[in-house]
Chain A
Amino acid sequence: MSLPTTPLGALLAILIMALITYLTRSGGVLIMSRVPIGPRMERFINAMSGSVLVAVIMPTAVEGDWGARLALVATLVAMLLTRKPLIAIAAGILSAALWRALVG
């Protein structure tokens, strides 16, 4: 099942995202007012929220060109060194641009 990328389809996709995001924002308080979130559920959610980022990045790492792969490596290294996302992202963009300008 998928939505067409027409103005209406895109609007619907955005509204669905907004609704789900609000459910996550309000859900924690709503659930806690009935049953407390246990440590097992907390571990599952913690691991899942990082894992989905890993999964989303995978296609770039697997199917991207070497410029894109280098960008990910540069971001990782810069992030580990500086802990500053903006610097890390800039390093990634710069690496991809340089690689493509110099190597092709």
Chain B
Amino acid sequence: MTLTATPPPAGAGTTAPGTSTSPTAATLWRRGRGVLAAALLVLVVAALTVLATGTNAPGAPLDPRDATPDGGRALAEILGDRGVRVERVSGIEEIMRLDGPDTQILLTDTSHLSTSDVTRLVQGRSDLLIAGPVAALSRLAPEARPKAQAVARSREPGCALPAAVRAGSVYLGGIAFTTPRGAVGCYPSDDGPTLVRTTGARTVTVTGDNGFMSNRRLAEDGNAALAINLAGAKPVLAWVVEPDREQGGTGTPGSGRATLGELIPAQVPWAVVQLGVALLLAALWRGRRLGPVVAERLPVAVRAAETVEGRGRLYRARRARDRAAATLRAATAARIAPRLGLAGDAGPDSIIAATALRTGQDPRWVHSVMYGPTPADDAGLVALAGHLDTLERQVREP
């Protein structure tokens, strides 16, 4: 007998108190403390790494705070060391607050400024340093008209502008401009200069490209010199950047264009957070299993007839009419021989003769059915099976 563990006899009391299989708090702590320590270690290392490398605020290209290769932090730091007050501004109000004869405004992108903002910039008194192709170029510097594309590469000054002459060759390109009368054009490409300065009531400097100011290129050629000479021309530099995204709707100029986010009440995101909590609780509720999953060894489920079906399919796939016909004929012969009073190993002739005698059929037909040629096609095989059945029935019921 292999019956397991008989139950304690009735009256002997309950099962031992140690039947519980759930882990106790102490077990959980012992089991989990290793994982906990590892997680804590990973967190500490990550925190230390972040602290050691310092903050690195990512921003738009040529942001004075951005230390990535595309940023402009290197130039901003150098200018600061040289006594230039670098102000990082984005809104038009901020820009116009600094407006004055001692200020130069550095524009690398004007896509966030509206038409009216640009108009106010045009009316201002500050110098303008427009670096790279900006959308509002035609209004800010109407004299410097773009003429052609120019490949960015190292170019020679080729003009009398002191800032350019002192800097020497610079990595510049982007746009080649027409040189209006009374303006200075430097760093010429085949189609025209890539740096144009007009002087009048205010000095406006336009470069075809701003790559030379970026952290990546500042150390090459005379890039740093040119950037410092241009941007450090005035004691105050208003460095215009795109507004930070976190500033939200309030800082966005043009109060008439509220975004979808501004129109949703502040309660809604928090309600969504609360719904998330509800969802999490529902998941915990439904996901908690009542007891263990019970595995079981299942028996094999193979139909015994599978081999026979496989053989039938093989016959069919190979169109094995010869084998199929021979098997069917042999089976019929084996079945009718005893009914004809013949031994199991009786020869074809005696079987044919006895069958023809019993059924009254033509012996030649019986021969062709029982021992004739292999059917030429599947239809012939089906017909042969029918004939064999007929013959067998007639032998059984003459």
A and B pair up: no
